[in-house]
Amino acid sequence: MHSANLRFSNQVVLVTGATRGVGAATAREFADGGAHVYLTGRSEAAGQQVAAEINASGGSACFHRLDVTSEASWQTLIDAIRRDHGRLDTLVNNAGVHQTQSLLESTEEDFYQQVNTNLKGVFLGCRQAVPLMTASLADGHYANIVNVSSIAGLVGTASQSLYSMTKGGLQLFSKSLALELAPARIRVNCINPGMIENDMGSHLVEQLVTTGVFDNEQSALRYLHKQIPMRRFASVTEVAAAIAFLASDAASFITGVGLPIDGGLTAG
């Protein structure tokens, strides 16, 4: 059940990377709050399935395939939203790629893959979305951009130098854009998730086993839980709820923040 300040009735929300995990949970969160949600991603089948599930449960959603690294792809999508709804209230830049390797193992291709998706994709999305947001703002209403960074953008992490570089850049991009767009009544915030019960969390556990650090997944998971003060990973719904909060009227005077969702991992 959503409070009045977490309702998104008649709003239009765009969530990138929404075919699974945090993105899919975020799309469902906004749809449950009354928004019409545009889901994007690379997998047509997975995206259509998430949209169908939302619609079957009484929500409103549609899937559009999007290459976040292509300005033409972004423009086609924003033009469709303008044509169909004439407005865009919230953009959630969730699409991203994650690779784990040392500096000397990293290639120029690895560099561009992470920079193009994690930074260029967000830049292009904001540049295409902001004019529609500005044109469709009602009196007293704020539009929202929520960028999904990582705690790797707050603290250094071994063997994740490229990923940390992009997520740290996204953190400061969000803060700077918040200052730039505040007079236009567009709030820009960023979340910094820690370890999550999703594919990335599972990959980290698997990596600790395959590299011989631990003998089995249970031992690896126990070790990772001990690094977190709350002794567990976040669920995707907890991350989605934080995104929805930052885009809601409950956060109407919040802009330019980077919100860790990490169970206290970076508190010390």
Active site residues: 163
Q: In the β-sheet with 186-193, what is the strand arrangement from edge to edge?
A: 60-65, 36-41, 12-15, 90-93, 143-148, 186-193, 258-261
